[in-house]
Every structure is written in C-alpha cells, then in structure tokens.
Amino acid sequence: MVSMATALRPCSLLVPSCFPSIQAHDTRVPPGKVLKLIKGLYGLKQSGREWNIELDTHLRMGDHLTVITAYVDDMLIASPCRREVDRTKAEIMDKWGTEDNGPVREFLGIKITRERRQGRITLDLTAYIKGMVSKWLERTSEQTWIPMQSVAGIAGGNKCNPDQAKQYQELVGQLLWVSNTVRPDISFAVGALTRYMSEPIDSAWSAAIHLLKYLNQTSDYRLNLGGAHRSHADQPVVTYTDANWASDPTNGRRSTSGAITYVYGCPVSWKSHVQKCVALSAVEAELVAASKAAREALFFSYLLRDLGVFGVKPTLCTDSQGCIQVSKDPAKHWKLKHIDTRYYFVRDHVQDGDISIEFVGTANNVADILTKPLKGLNMTRISRMIGLDMPLRGGVEDALTSPTRDVLNRSSQDWGIGKASGDEEDKQNAKLVGANAAYAQGLTPWYAGNMLI
C-alpha cells in the first residue's frame, strides 16, 4: 500500500478555474484581476477526476498487468508477481513522491487481516464501530442479537427537532459505511432507516440506536474473503437474489429486493432496496429482483474479463420456480403481460446463454437476509453462510448443545447451497427446527429470548 502526500497538486486542470484574490503572504493581485489555478488543489471540484486521469495515463505506459485501487491519494497495488508490485511502487514514488506503507493492514479505516496458512483474508471495522459506540451510546452494556425488530414498528413516530435530525443523519451515514463495506447482515435494517433521512422521527432514531447496540455486541464479526462458500470456490460469479413481496405497509406495499454476489466464493457485493414498482404477485417481485441482480452479475463478469479471465458465465440463484420458468420460457404469460420491458432483462440474457439461472431452497438463499428482518438461529445461520466470521462469547458456546453448535458451524457446502430442492430442502428445514429447539434449551434465558426464531 502506498500513500501520497501531495496527490492532487501535480495534475494539470483541463477546465480553467479562477477565483478572486486571497489573503496570502506576498500575494498582490491588481484590481480587476483574478487568480487562475493551473494545478489541482484539495477541495476543488474537478481535482479528483483530473488526478485520476493523470495517474491512469502514467500507469498504462507499462506492459505488465498490475491492478491498482486508488482512492484519492491512497492506493492498493496487486499483481501476480511481487517484483511487479515493487516496480510499480518505485515508478509512482519516482514521479509523484509517496510513502511506502508496506503490506496492507488497513485501508479507508477497514482492518485487513491476511491468514496465509488458512488461505483467506478477513475485513472488519471493529475500531470504527467502537468509535461510533463511544459517541452515540450512553449505556454500552445493553445487548441485542438482532439488527431490527420490524419495519412497521418504525413508522408513526414524532418528528425530531433540528438538532436530533442532524444527529440522526450523521449516525445513519456512519451505519451506511459499515453496511456497504463489511457487514451485509445489517443492510436491510440500514436501508429501512435511510427512508427517514429527510424527515427523521423519534421511532427511527430509536431503531438506529437499537442497530448500534447490535453492532456493539457483534463488533468483532469479520467478513471472510477466503472462500466462505466452498461450493462456489471454483465458480467465477454467483449471485443470489430474493424478494419479499408486498410485506411492508409503510411504503405502499412495494416489495423489497435483495442480491449478494460472490466471486470465486468470496462475497464482494450486496444490495437491499425497495422496488420502484408495485408488484402484483410474488413471481413478479422475484422477476424484478432477478433483473437487478443479473445486471450486477454481468458487471462482475465484465470486470473479470478486463482482468484477463474470459468466458465467464454468471450463475443466478433464486428460490422462485415461477421466476425461473418465466426466465427460461419465451412464451407469453398472460398474468405477466403488464410487466415493464426492463424487467425481462434477465430473460433475454438467459435465452442468449449469457447467464444461467438455478433454483436454491429458501432455507439456503442467503439473499433472504437482505429482504426482511430475521431473528434467532436463522439470522445467525445465514450470516455465517454469507461469509461472516462470528465468534460466540460470554460462555454461550459452552452452553450450546452439540446439535446446535453443529448447525452453526456448517458451511454452505454442508447445507447444499444451490443444490437443495424438494425432499432435501424439507430435510434441511426439519434440521433447523430441531436445532432451534436445542438452542432454546441450551442457552441462558437472556440469550434465548433474543435468539429464538
């Protein structure tokens, strides 16, 4: 990782920028004249773009493949060859002057831990979350194991005063950062809170504090990039999609879509959002969600192509047989004739062979966590399946009965992700019911009260 002390200053500006005289040492501007800026400065609107053009132009002069992620003046450098990384660092340092921070340990506040023997990388925001807790929580001892009780419970509160409204917007902005980077398990809850950003209400503030308590309790959860989905480790792009049809009365009964994408078994993208249209059936809601998910899957296939991995055919996994039938069958379905053309995007790409679509049992559809508030063992199980490392604390692991611990520690391969159907799915659901009963018997009362489905 390298960091630049003066990233934006060396780059030339394609669009001239002028401003009136400023108070500076030995600066005298004649009356009627202005200062013309010829190099980029921090805070200037176009500086970031101009710097990116400058950096991109220089880096493309080489002949070897080196992948660089640049966020203003912080850069991550990756290459199949260590020598290429060192050579790229040397070139950048020679041209602009940089600080070599060595192997990456933190990037944009995200702690990055490499465990080479286990062949994995984990990401966490533990320090960032602890900072949020110290700022916003008065009593840090209060515990909860679910991100949100219900969406409907937020609506109907009283409008916040201006000071509290500003605090709410700041807190939700921080929660968005945590959700978008390393914590897909809170994406649905954060999405529900963002609906009140323009006019915060006291019940939404309480829900945000509740979510922060959950983060405080689970601050040491880490996102695993070491092939969490072992059954997908050899598949370039797999996207799970789900929809919760018309379950929220507070938003005009619009359905909620969820999608999570894996690249070679690693979770790299997740989204939870309310659909823009009102779906008239569960199949329609699933089709709308699948079309959005297909775009994301195709994006990552194109990204891999740019990195030299060709012939990638993404796999779309859904628990809706109706959605699969509509996507594979070009015949007219009279109950779906009213659907906007854009939502047949997935059908066109399935027909063209660009995407394959497969059935996955509801119990194994990890996108379910992005469409509704989950509770109990189901929340814990799917969070683990997504790829979150979740250490049990406070003697809870000792209290678990062996069947329950067995269920929590199973990988997606053990659960048969992408393969469960029919009788097999029923067997898995039966296992969950039995495990949940064992869970309730083996835990302390306060924990069982929070964790039961």
What does the block give as tokens for 315?
């796999």
Amino acid at 287: L
Residue linked to tokens 């399935």? 350
Q: Which amino acid is at 264?
A: Y
- As a whole number, the mean pLDDT across the chain is 79
- pTM for the full predicted model: 0.77
Q: Residue 392 has what pLDDT?
A: 58
Domain boundaries defined on the chain = 2-104, 124-222, 227-364, 394-451
Return d(Cα 75, Cα 73) in angstroms, integer: 7
* 3-class SS of residue 98: strand
- 129 vs 274: CA distance, rounded Å: 26
Note the pLDDT tens digit of each residue in 120-140. 899 999 999 999 999 999 877
Q: Highest mean pLDDT range out of 94-108, 322-336, 406-420? A: 94-108
Return the pLDDT at 430: 44
Q: What is the pLDDT confidence band of residue 304, given thresholds at 50, 70 and 90?
A: very high
- The mean per-residue pLDDT over the stretch 172-180 comes to 97
What is the pLDDT confidence band of residue 72, given thresholds at 50, 70 and 90? confident
User: What is the percent of the chain where pLDDT is above 90?
Assistant: 42
Q: Quick count: other Cβ atoms within 10 Å of Cβ 343? A: 20
What is the rounded distance in angstroms from the CA atom of residue 157 to the CA atom of residue 451?
Answer: 27
| Domain over 227-364 is classified CATH 1.10.10.10 | no
Of the candidate ranges 23-27, 109-113, 179-183, 294-298, the one whose mean pLDDT is the lowest: 23-27
Under 8 Å between Cβ of 235 and 315: yes
pLDDT at 442 over 70: no
pLDDT above 80 (res 401) = no
Burial category of 45 from C-beta neighbours within 10 Å (exposed 0-12, middle 13-18, buried 19 and up): exposed
Residue 99's pLDDT band, with cuts at 50, 70 and 90, is: confident
